[in-house]
Amino acid sequence: MRVFSKTAFIVLFTFICLESAAAQPARAKNGMIASECSMATNVGLEILKMGGNAVDAAVAVGFALAVTYPEAGNIGGGGFSVIHLSDGKSTSIDYREKAPLKAHSEMFLDEEGNFDITLSTRGWTSSGVPGSVAGLIYTLEKYGTMNLKEIIQPAIDLAENGFILDYYTANLLKAYNHHFNRYESTKKIFTKNGEPFEEGELLIQKDLAETLRLILNEGKDGFYKGRTAKLLAEQSQNNGGYITEEDLNNYSAIEKEPVRSTYRGRKIISMGPSSSGGIALTQALNVFENFSFSYDDWGGGKYVHTLSEILKYVYADRAKHLGDDEFYDVPKKRLTSKDYAKSISERIGEAAVPSVSVMPGVLYEESENTTHYAVVDKYGNAVSTTTTINSLFGNKIVVDGAGFFMNNEMDDFSSKPGEPNQFGLIGYEANSIQPGKRMLSAMTPTIILDNEKPLLIVGARGGSRIITAVLQTIINTLDFGMNIQEAMDRPRIHQQWMPDSIDYEKFGLPEDVRDNLIKRGHNIGSIYNIGKVVGIKIENGIFTGGVDSRGSGLAAGY
């Protein structure tokens, strides 16, 4: 059995999650990992160096992030993986959280039938049944080459022995200290007797180490049955939640055919429902394919206008038609067809069309606090994974004795038609609450193939802005010839149909461009960061990778 040296992990324990601000991407010849934490990246890199494939490394990164990236990395949440294998097979794994069997359409309504947002965002009522452990283990067992002990031991060591808090993580823990102090189980791990941690201090998570050790010894059953399942279910039910041991015992990841399309001669492999990301991305690229822009057009009025108009139609369709396809008949073929895209492109003229004229309907949004990682190996295997617990640190509740944060993903359902969720936006019937249903997501893990080989592995965090962030990174790379770091770092815009406005990043819309857009009939919205992308591009046999300069992390290879 392969083992990690003690020296290697002393280095890993003390590695700081550095902010990446490099203008040029990292380069390597044998394999590459890109994630939002350098410790997790280096865990995955060691797996590749030991001869593991991209799936082995991706699963190791996932478990490591559950320790070192507690605000979004998780075993108390869920996610999606898109995989391309060296034998030519492409597949996807859906391990999104599910509504408990006791969930019902009126669970977040008060006695007068009004939507109570605190029930969907705080406390145990907000949690869906976690899927991450099932998804990671399913993926490893079916497509990995190494055993679970080799893959999960680095995460156990990081939890047991602790790791040094960097500036970013320490400040985040400090900002949420008052939330952590509300729950004794959270307070005892993520505070120092109620006081916040400081940069450079050691964060030790003994309970999480024990939970991971149970998974090591018992596999999926180490989480979904036995001690951990009992702790989670009892604490949920004792505090008004809905999750039971039956929910946990019955959870399983689902392997699905990915969303497939083409864009300017390349193959697009992305995630289908219960994620909206793959269909929305495919639809947007299909429409954009009917337009042509030169390098000098990038960021200009006509380019931004066209992109914004495309996104109105994409997000309107997303709101109306997308949900868990096990419960709702999603018109996937129509939404991703080239003919439908052509018909949309013909409606886009020189002037903006008001969103209310595009299609009446409603929309929901999810939180930004996902995390994405990308992996490629020397054999030609590639993995693109996005996971989430919804809000930062989920619902802020740590399962006492188990050491991990629970998600508040139930808020991603449409709790009541016409009523806004925590982000002020509205839901629709396709994404209504039903027992056992997976809530809709915007996560968009994507792999692009050129001549049947991976060219681009990309994804992002950022809630509903994930789709626009990934879309613009792909366009920057394939249409404008940017390297992966430049493609991620360029300013982005965001239009999601409702509200009818173009949001943008600082320095993203110069005054003359704003004036041009206003003359075309657009409304100019707010300034904020639009997603945080992680990606790898393969060019001439060289792996180039990066993490968005808007966030933290590390791309590294060998």
Closest to 176 in 3D by CA, of 13, 396, 349, 2: 396
How big is the chain by its Cα radius of gyration, in Å? 22
- pLDDT at site 97: 98
Q: Annotated catalytic residue: which of 228, 370, 371, 544? A: 370
Interatomic CA distance for residues 68 and 169, integer angstroms: 9
Closest CA to 252 of 89, 91, 130: 130
Judged by DSSP in three states, 197 sits in coil
Burial class (CB in 10 A: 0-12, 13-18, 19+), 137: buried
Query: Can you give the pLDDT at residue 38?
Result: 97
Query: What's the confidence (pLDDT) of residue 77?
Result: 98
Confirm if 308 and 287 have CB atoms less than 8 A apart.
no
DSSP 440: P
Q: Helix 465-478 crosses helix 277-288 at what angle (to 10 degrees)?
A: 40
Q: Are residues 404 and 74 in contact, defined by beta-carbon separation less than 8 angstroms?
A: yes
DSSP reduced 3-state for 455? strand
* Neighbouring-strand partners of residue 80: 94, 386
Residues facing residue 263 across a β-bridge: 266
Q: State yes or no: is 386 an active-site residue.
A: no
Using the Cα atoms of residue 10, residue 14, residue 17 and residue 23 in order, give the sign of their dihedral. Answer: negative
Query: Which pLDDT score is estimated for 282?
Result: 98
State how far the Cα of 351 lies from the Cα of 309, in Å rounded to an integer. Answer: 9
Q: Rounded to whole angstroms, how far apart are CA atoms 510 and 493? A: 12
How many Cα atoms are found within 13 Å in the side-chain-facing hemisphere of 333? 1
**How far is the CA of 443 from the CAs of 16, 384, 399, 467, in angstroms?**
27, 11, 25, 7
Full DSSP string of 384-416? EEEEE-SSTTTTS-B-TTT--BPP-GGGGSBSS
Partners of 377 in beta bridges: 31
Q: Which of 194, 282, 240, 224 is nearest to 76 (CA)?
A: 224
CB of 59 closer than 8 Å to CB of 387: no
Give percent helix, percent strand, percent coil of the chain, each to the nearest 5. 40, 20, 40
Return the domain boundaries, the chain. Answer: 43-162+204-540
Give CATH superfamily name and number for 43-162+204-540.
Gamma-glutamyltranspeptidase, small (S) subunit (3.60.20.40)
What residues in the chain have per-residue pLDDT under 50? 1-22, 360-364, 420-427
196's tokens: 């916040």
- Measured between its terminal Cα atoms, the distance across the chain in Å is 22
pLDDT score of 110: 83
Q: Which residue has the tokens 């149970």?
A: 214
Model pTM score: 0.94
Residue 261 tokens, joined: 């399309």
pLDDT of residue 86: 98
Closest among 396, 464, 438, 417 to 108, alpha carbons compared: 417
What 3-state class would DSSP assign to 264?
A: coil
